[in-house]
Amino acid sequence: MLNHDHLTEFAGLPVVEFPSRQNAGSPPPGLPAAAADPASVAWRLRVDMWLMDEEEPFEDYFHRFLAEVDTGRVGALVVGAWDYAFEMVPPTAVRDLLVAHADRFPSLRALFFGDITDEELHISWIGQDDMSPLLSAFPRLTGLTARGGQDLRLHVAEHACLRRLSLETGGLAAETAQGVVTSRLPALEHLDLVLGMHTYGCGTGPDTLAPLLSGQVLPRLRSLGLRSTEATDAWVHALADAPLLPRLRVLDLSLGTLTDRGARVLLDTPAFFGLERLDLHHSYLSEGVREELRTAFAASGTELDLSHPQKLDDRFEGGEDREEGETWDDYLAAVRPYYPAVGE
């Protein structure tokens, strides 16, 4: 699962954590080299959520980072936990610190906001806010990732440089997705949406992303992720008829609930075979259909990931409560014993 562990690499660079005062006695082994060449690593800023009473406040910690590291050479920044459940320091405070000191980061090109593990805080509990001020403050940013969908918003009139955007949520609200597809992002090549579950606020479906699927927005998009969703089969159906599909080179439908029904659409739609890479890991596919997919996509030269196959919940494998005359496919479609990977 994507939020099991803290990042060890970001934007092609190893992640080194700037130590808080609580951890100053045991700095990470890569710290001296990172301090000597701040551009050689992605810097993580994080306070220990379990030691909040003993920790220096995040604002003090941030200012010490500015004082001790040549931030003018920092090209990649990872913001981790800043408060337990954000009771004292809201995400806006951390966002606004970055915005207020944007001039101290003239080389910043990649930002991860919310490198918070499931052990620290469930993804659906991670509070966020409007990310748009970050894009406005950093007009040369090429990559932005935000984890946590609670109150997450993002809409900009234009950002000329952003090439990669990832939103990792327990449930992506329709308003958030609409804000993205109505933003003018002429350079965006990669969009990754971890859609999550209806229970945790997901209201984003194919209708929400209709402007994107129609090919009318994000003209340079070549890589699309629609991950960890309860409705992978529905997304496959929508993509099969979408003008966007022939433009894509990479499609990531991983961590979701793809079944044999959705796989049949993949196999019956020629445009999917124009992809360079198709990621279907963590899917609910029978072995026979998995083999059909392997054979068909190998023939087209598409790199296919079918790793981490999932099984039905044991409660449903026997189908004892199936109605007389009800097909197995209809039974499974009705009870939906499938779960996306990113949840509680």
Q: How far apart are CA 263 and CA 9, in angstroms?
A: 32
Q: How far apart are CA 246 and CA 249, in angstroms?
A: 8
**Is residue 97 predicted with pLDDT exceeding 70?**
yes
Where residue 39 falls among pLDDT bands split at 50, 70, 90?
very high
Q: How far apart are CA 176 and CA 181, in angstroms?
A: 9
Task: List, for residues 147-182, the tens digit of each pLDDT value.
Answer: 999 899 999 999 999 999 999 999 999 999 999 999
Q: Report the SS3 class of residue 238.
A: helix
pTM, two decimals, is 0.91
**Is residue 269 predicted with pLDDT exceeding 90?**
yes
Domains of the chain by residue range: 1-121
Where residue 331 falls among pLDDT bands split at 50, 70, 90?
very low
Backbone angles phi, psi at 238, to 5 degrees: -65, -40
Indicate the Cα dihedral angle 206, 208, 211, 214, nearest 10°. Answer: 10
Least confident of 99-108, 120-129, 184-193, 292-301: 120-129
Location of structure tokens 């609580």: 22
Q: How far apart are CA 8 and CA 297, in angstroms?
A: 32
Determine contact, residues 242/272, Cβ cutoff 8 Å: no
Going by their DSSP bridges, the two strands 13-18 and 9-10 should be labelled as antiparallel
Nearest Cα to 172, choosing from 139, 130, 143, 205?
Answer: 205
Q: Report the SS3 class of residue 181.
A: helix
Nearest Cα to 163, choosing from 189, 145, 134, 131?
Answer: 189
Q: Residues 293, 300, 339, CA angle at the centre, nearest 5°?
A: 30
> How confident is the model at residue 54, as a pLDDT?
60
| Percent share of the chain, pLDDT over 70 | 88
